[in-house]
């Protein structure tokens, strides 16, 4: 997280480690962590169960997008503000300045289209001294908990892009095989271990590909890529579409057909895929990006069964233009909801 909350959280974690070494047994600490994690998963499970029971009673629902917030920001390499994004995105979704209809005419206030199961309490879990490896498993288990309740499909609100790894892992494991991924971003996020952190937001797709959770990975909007990013792309067979050739690639990207022969399509949208003229409230500002209509054209025309999605890297601490980027992130969520629900 950022600011005072991050400082307080890191101080508490260090204090827990000192206590663990000096006074608290490893078993006692482990048991306490287990209780907090179990309570967190129970709340998500019960909310998901309640929402799914309602939808099954209503009938006629094959799939409903279900919001799950993952307010994690500490794996960001620059600013950690994305941890504060989920509540701001929710607020913008229901902002009175717009209506509740998607561009294709689906009504968000219909629970058969959109539900919400709350947030994974990331900071509360980290305050108990839980390290990243286990934290990533908590995120995965939270996603699986949502997927346990048919017809809910997770639409995850980040958070930094490190959350895509545990989310995609959960989706692939739950469905029993790999998915095709459409990844919109200014960066490929495929470093082996950025700054030594294997869970960095800049390394999430390396973890996804080495885990075998994706058959195809299409990365669109790329305009900040290093030699390692290109080499990693070749290593994993990634289809990287850079902005410098977007005019040539546009027709193909606006007529994608994905998911055949695998378990479906996963969409991951980093808000910085957009040119900063459309979305200035991001940590990594990269000029020369996609327009908002470019993104919508790609999403609207995509053919495939979208089984889950995420919207990540919105940074409210940089959203200084009257909440404009919050509205942009919310619109992305709304249109993804339309793509998922049926």
User: pLDDT digits over 13-41, tens only?
Assistant: 666 666 655 667 788 888 999 999 999 99
Is residue 297 classed exposed, middle or buried when 0-12, 13-18 and 19+ CB atoms within 10 A define those classes?
middle
Is residue 18 classed exposed, middle or buried when 0-12, 13-18 and 19+ CB atoms within 10 A define those classes?
exposed
State residue 320's pLDDT score.
Answer: 85
Percent of the chain with pLDDT over 90: 87
Q: What is the dihedral of CA 153, 150, 119, 13, to 10 degrees?
A: -100
Q: Is residue 2 scored above 50 in pLDDT?
A: no
Q: Which residues are 269's β-sheet partners?
A: 184, 311
Q: Considering only 19-23, 238-242, 297-301, which range has the smallest mean pLDDT?
A: 19-23
**What confidence tier does 322 reach under pLDDT thresholds 50, 70, 90?**
confident
**What confidence tier does 235 reach under pLDDT thresholds 50, 70, 90?**
very high
Region 292-303: what's the mean pLDDT? 98
Say how far apart CA 99 and CA 277 lie, in whole Å.
24
Return the structure tokens found at 244: 């410098």
Q: What is the largest CA-CA distance in the chain?
A: 64
Q: Is residue 229 scored above 50 in pLDDT?
A: yes
**What confidence tier does 331 reach under pLDDT thresholds 50, 70, 90?**
very high
State residue 24's pLDDT score.
Answer: 72
**What confidence tier does 321 reach under pLDDT thresholds 50, 70, 90?**
confident
The residue assigned the tokens 């200084």 is 320
User: pLDDT digits over 35-74, tens only?
Assistant: 999 999 999 999 999 999 999 999 999 999 999 999 999 9
Higher pLDDT, 10 or 71: 71
**What confidence tier does 12 reach under pLDDT thresholds 50, 70, 90?**
low
Q: Is residue 3 scored above 80 in pLDDT?
A: no
Mean pLDDT of the chain: 94
Region 187-210: what's the mean pLDDT? 96
Please indicate, yes or no, whether the overall pTM of this predicted structure exceeds 0.75.
yes
154-170: b (≥16 Cβ within 10 Å) or e? bbbbbbbbbbbbbbbbb
Q: Is residue 339 scored above 70 in pLDDT?
A: yes
Percent of the chain with pLDDT over 70: 93
């Amino acid at each position: 997280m950022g600011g005072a909350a991050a400082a307080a959280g890191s101080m508490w974690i260090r204090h827990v480690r000192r206590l663990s070494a000096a006074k608290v047994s490893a078993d006692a600490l482990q048991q306490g962590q287990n209780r907090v994690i179990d309570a967190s998963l129970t709340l998500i499970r019960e909310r998901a169960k309640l929402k799914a029971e309602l939808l099954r009673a209503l009938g006629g629902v094959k799939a409903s997008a279900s919001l799950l917030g993952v307010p994690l920001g500490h794996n960001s390499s620059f600013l950690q503000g994305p941890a504060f994004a989920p509540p701001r995105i929710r607020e913008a979704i229901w902002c009175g300045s717009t209506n509740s209809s998607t561009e294709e005419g689906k009504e968000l206030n219909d629970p058969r289209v959109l539900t919400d199961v709350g947030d994974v309490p990331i900071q509360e879990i980290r305050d108990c001294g839980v390290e990243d490896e286990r934290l990533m498993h908590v995120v995965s288990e939270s996603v699986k908990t949502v997927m346990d309740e048919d017809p809910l499909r997770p639409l995850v609100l980040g958070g930094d892009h490190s959350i895509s790894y545990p989310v995609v892992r959960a989706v692939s494991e739950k469905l029993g095989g790999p998915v095709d991924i459409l990844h919109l971003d200014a960066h490929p996020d495929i470093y082996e271990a950025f700054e030594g952190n294997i869970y960095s937001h800049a390394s999430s797709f390396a973890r996804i590909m080495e885990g075998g959770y994706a058959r195809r990975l299409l990365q669109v909007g790329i305009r900040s890529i290093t030699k390692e990013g290109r080499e990693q792309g070749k290593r994993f067979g990634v289809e990287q579409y850079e902005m410098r050739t977007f005019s040539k690639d546009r027709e193909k990207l606006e007529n994608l057909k994905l998911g055949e022969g695998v378990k479906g399509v996963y969409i991951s949208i980093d808000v910085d895929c957009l040119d900063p003229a459309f979305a200035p409230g991001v940590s990594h500002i990269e000029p020369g990006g996609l327009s908002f209509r470019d993104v919508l054209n790609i999403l609207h025309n995509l053919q495939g069964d979208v089984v889950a999605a995420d919207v990540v890297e919105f940074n409210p601490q940089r959203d200084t233009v009257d909440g404009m980027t919050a509205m942009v992130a919310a619109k992305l969520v709304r249109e993804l909801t339309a793509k998922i629900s049926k």
